[in-house]
Structure 1
Amino acid sequence: MDEDTLQTRYLIVIAAFLCALIIGYNAFYVPEAMNVTVAADSTSSGEEAYTPQAVSGLPPKEREMQSKAESRVGKVNINTATAQQLCELDGIGSVMSKRIIDYRQQKGKFKSIEELKNVSGIGEKTFAKLKDHITV
């Protein structure tokens, strides 16, 4: 082999090694990037305001528990809360949050937190878990 062919082969081997090194580094050593989701909140003017919310690299169940714990810092107003905000309450899932919103649309605003027990599926036990975390 002549000198040029040998140098070309060396360069190809070096390039392949560097590519493998970069791919291996990215696959095993680079920390996971933080995902950002966008949540839509309704404003009084009818427009949607977008608020970015960070999503951790936790498994879904642990992430749900963390968001529920964070939501307990302040009380949730059941007259103005979105379905997502209601879902963050302990004992309230997507179906129950839809029922609460449907009840609110049909009957009007809640006059007291005890009126929440009139929503189908919310009994004494669920209400007991919620009463310290909700307001009207």
Structure 2
Amino acid sequence: MKNLFMAGTLALFAVPACAQDHSITYPFEGSFEDATFAVESAIVGRGLVVDWVSHTGDMLARTADAVGSDVKLFEAADVFQFCSAQLSRKVMEVDPMNIAFCPYGIFVADQAGDVIVGYKTYPEGAMQEVQALLDEIVQEALQ
């Protein structure tokens, strides 16, 4: 009975995890194409190299039938992946397991004409410097 009470009490306080808990997003005033250009320009303008662009929206649209879904999640969605050799070394010297966060990514998504730009959040400590860099890049792209 005590275990049942504890389980019920824990269930009252359990909150489902949401993507909003793991990302920071900003609305973009303009088209998806303008947003992707602005993000890529802001990354490259800092002397960083875009290693890869994941065309996540295209992949989801292409595979919807194969996974038995008819839900259209995005009009378009891309994730720009890149690293900063200097900052990556700095955070990995604090904790080599910060390798798990590399490469860093900034996403652009269009949902029914609402374009957003964002990035995932990082844990407290050294990785907050990476999060600050991502926010600076996004803020530049928003201008």
Range into which the TM-score falls when normalised by the shorter chain: under 0.3
Give the TM-score normalised by structure 1: 0.22
* Relative contact order, higher structure (CA 8 A, sep 6+): 2
Give the TM-score normalised by structure 2: 0.22
